[in-house]
Structure 1
Amino acid sequence: MEKRPSTPSDTNGTPQRHADAPPGELGKLLQAAVAPQGELTPQQQDALEGVLEKLAKEQPAIVAQAVFRQEMFSGPIPHPQHLNGYDQTTRETIVAMAVREQQHAHDMGEKGLDGAIKKDRLGQIFGLIIAIFGLGAAAWIAQYSAVAASIIGSIDLLGMVAVFAAPRAFEMMLALKAQKAQQEEAAKKKPSRQRKK
């Protein structure tokens, strides 16, 4: 049994070379493209494109699929491949900085939340003191004038509603407006995506 060459050959059985691709150039381009850290230079990209275009015209069964790979990375530390490019001491320093920064962000968030809770709690305590004082004043004045006592009591209760209920209602109103605006924005983006397809 005779073995046939795996590359196209002429009538003599010697492998044919592609006109634009010297021996091994296509292999080098492909190896550079699939290497973990390899990237093609613009010249290599142009050469690979030319070789693949001619190959697709001459032998379409060979060029059946094109694969594109794009990698994006975001975070407090460099991409693992880039991080491995540093020496051990530098890597440890970079990771320690990221850990400290993350801990600082958590601490600041916790302090901000604790401050907001304390502020609300103090507001409630002082509001309760003022309400009790106002209702006490209204009760004391009621023995002299019922109309004046009812006015003071009403103002006191309206003040309590304004202090406690109104800000919450205002926050809810703002949240609903923001949610509605986001929904409108999402609705505007959907048709534009469909048109692009």
Structure 2
Amino acid sequence: MAENQSYYVPASSPWPIIGAIGLGLIAWGAGNTVIDMTNNQDGYGSTVLTIGIIVMAVMLFGWFRDQINESMQGLYNDQLGNSYKQGMSWFIFSEVMFFAAFFGALFYARIIAVPWLDGASNNVMTAEVLWPEFVAQWPLTKTPGGTETQAMGWYGLPLINTVILVVSSVTCHFAHVGLEKDNRKQLTAWLGLTIILGCIFL
């Protein structure tokens, strides 16, 4: 018969609310930075963005420090380890659904909405009333106001970011191998390289 294990419940932590504040500052600062760049003016957006990044860095350092200290004190058990695995599984699932929503929106816009705006099916009057000059094409390079844009090619920044993502997955794998072999030097080196690649990607 299996023995009941005590479940470790950590003390209240300030890091979640600090992380939420940091993310809010980053979103606010990034939005205002884009506005400042668009209007060619010096605003407070970049300052708020920098503060948000610093707050997030402090939060990550502090939270990871607490987790490592609790683990080194032997406060965790198999039951808590399963909770971490389940939490990571739900996080990955949420990321999958996040991108599924984006691809679903892209599919809807490209396959359904764009032809409708050009009068496809029974939407002739929709095209005449909303945008008579509209021509169904993809990607859309002309706005209702008449502004012409240019589609981004696959080369350049998209290709560079794709290469960075693929390489970072390889470095993360080597870090995981080091963790399984209890090789802290290998883990630290490859994980550090993975973090650097992530920062370059951003």
TM band (smaller chain): 0.3 to 0.5
Taking structure 1 as the reference length, the TM-score comes to: 0.34
Larger RCO (CA within 8 A; separation ≥ 6): 2
Taking structure 2 as the reference length, the TM-score comes to: 0.33
Larger Rg: 1
